[in-house]
Amino acid sequence: MKLLVIGLGQCGGRIADRFARLNKRGHALRGMDTLAGVFAVNTDVADLSGLRTIRPDYKHRILIGAQRTNGHGVGKISELGAEIANEDVDKIIDAIRTAEGFYETDAFLLCAGAAGGTGSGAIGVLTKHLKERYIGKPVYDVVVLPFRQEETTETRTIYNTATCLKSTYLVADAVFLIDNQRYVKKDSPAENNLNTINAKVAEPFYNMLCAGEETKSRFVGSKTLDAGDIIQTLTGWTVIGGGMSRLERRLPFCGPKRDFRDKMIETSRASHAMDQAISELSMTIDPSDVGRALYLLTAPAKEMSMDILKQLGDNLKSLAPNSLIRSGDYPRDSRQVDVTLIMSEIGSIRKITDYFTKAIDLISVMKAKRGLGYQTRRLEESFDEIPVLL
């Protein structure tokens, strides 16, 4: 699958930068490009300057709203970010059309932090315009949720997150939810933490994107997971995760039969990788509420048998009994077994509902302060009060 990646705001730009590094790795080690292009869009010059891999020219690092912000950002005001994105959307689209592989793009992937100003406000707007201009081409959003301390200390964070989530859900084909708090290490320096989180966001996409672009016959799986499978799986709220088991170095077996223990170890490696992928999902969810799921097993060909694929599928079905499951295998010469897992069409997520509830309460308090009165209402009745930044 070939994606065109656009990072919006500081958080989105850094994630897009990670995708650009993944594409370089795929080009160097596997001889393929899985990205049609990678771009960063921001209202802040300093944030664009801090990127490492995305090309530094003005067509790939796109500064918007310079006359209104003087290149210093929107100060977490997501409404201003949305307004600027609306005004400069043609500038963004003209820039991304310069990508060499633009017309080979299978889907767009937009990345942003939900708590900020530029990314939070712009991601829904750009998603809407891309959907209108490129009919039939999926647009997926990666939305990164704030850290717990941001939620407790900055009121604006809750408001921005709720408006971003509502806006993207209404227009995107699927929204990948990334919970920052799941990956944080409290004793690690902030920069290391953020780099680790950004790597964990992008890394699970690597094998999944490569599998469908593979051209060498010995690396093409018996059940190839291609763009069509991915597109049919992704819809609504979505999470992604990856797991890995290392292979021990062993001398080639020369005897007539394998020990039964070898067979057990092979199966347990793949099961361990699947368990890790489930535990490392980008957000805590209830698997029984999942409508669609997809998994990809990547390993040396001799480590993948029909029994192993069947067991992984059975384990996932027992965990998510209401989901339609797709699967694939991707044989690679490596010293590990990898499992990539996507769960999509998730009916309800408690943390998302909490954001909407808190935002509604916040809006009611703001109205009360303006003399408009305060009235307690049910969540369903108050949901319309959360603004849509489109």
Cβ-contact 85, 119 below 8 angstroms: no
pLDDT reading at 273 higher than 90: yes
Does residue 144 sit in the same domain as residue 35? yes
* Eight-state DSSP code of residue 254: -
Does residue 363 sit in the same domain as residue 273? no
Neighbouring-strand partners of residue 139: 108
Confidence of residue 363 (pLDDT cuts 50, 70, 90): confident
pLDDT reading at 152 higher than 70: yes
Does residue 333 sit in the same domain as residue 355? no
pLDDT reading at 172 higher than 50: yes
Q: pLDDT by residue (tens digit) across 204-248?
A: 999 999 999 998 889 998 888 999 999 999 999 999 999 999 887
Which pLDDT value is given to residue 251?
Answer: 46
Confidence of residue 387 (pLDDT cuts 50, 70, 90): confident
Helices (H), 188-341: 190-202, 205-213, 227-233, 260-279, 306-319
pLDDT reading at 373 higher than 60: no
Does residue 356 sit in the same domain as residue 293? no
Which pLDDT value is given to residue 335?
Answer: 87
pLDDT reading at 327 higher than 50: yes
Residue 70, classified by CB atoms within 10 Å of its CB into exposed (0-12), middle (13-18) or buried (19+), is exposed
Does residue 179 sit in the same domain as residue 285? no
CA angle 107, 3, 303 (to 5 degrees): 115
Span of 164-173, 253-262, 291-300, 312-321 with lowest mean pLDDT: 253-262
Strand residue runs (E) in the chain = 3-8, 35-42, 61-63, 107-113, 139-145, 174-179, 236-246, 290-299, 324-331, 336-346
Span of 172-186, 261-275, 309-323 with lowest mean pLDDT: 261-275
Is residue 193 one of the residues assigned to a domain? Answer: yes
Which pLDDT value is given to residue 331?
Answer: 94
CATH number of the domain within which 324 lies? 3.30.1330.20
Q: pLDDT by residue (tens digit) across 77-92?
A: 999 999 999 999 999 9
73-111 residues labelled b (16+ CB within 10 A) or e (exposed): bbebbbbbbbbbbbebbeebeebbeebeeeeebbbbbbb
Is residue 220 one of the residues assigned to a domain? Answer: no
Overall domain count for the chain: 3
Does residue 281 sit in the same domain as residue 135? no
Is residue 171 one of the residues assigned to a domain? Answer: yes
Which pLDDT value is given to residue 222?
Answer: 86
Which pLDDT value is given to residue 296?
Answer: 96
Distance in angstroms (rounded) separating the CA atoms of residues 339 and 367: 49
Which structural domain, as residue segments, surrounds residue 264? 239-346
Distance in angstroms (rounded) separating the CA atoms of residues 361 and 351: 15
Please state the three-class secondary structure of 152-188 as a single string.
HHCHHHHHHHHHHHHHHHHHCCEEEEEEHHHCCCCCC
* Eight-state DSSP code of residue 44: B
Q: What is the mean pLDDT of the chain?
A: 89
Tokens 């009121």 belong to which residue? 155
Cβ-contact 298, 338 below 8 angstroms: yes
Span of 39-43, 136-140, 373-377 with lowest mean pLDDT: 373-377
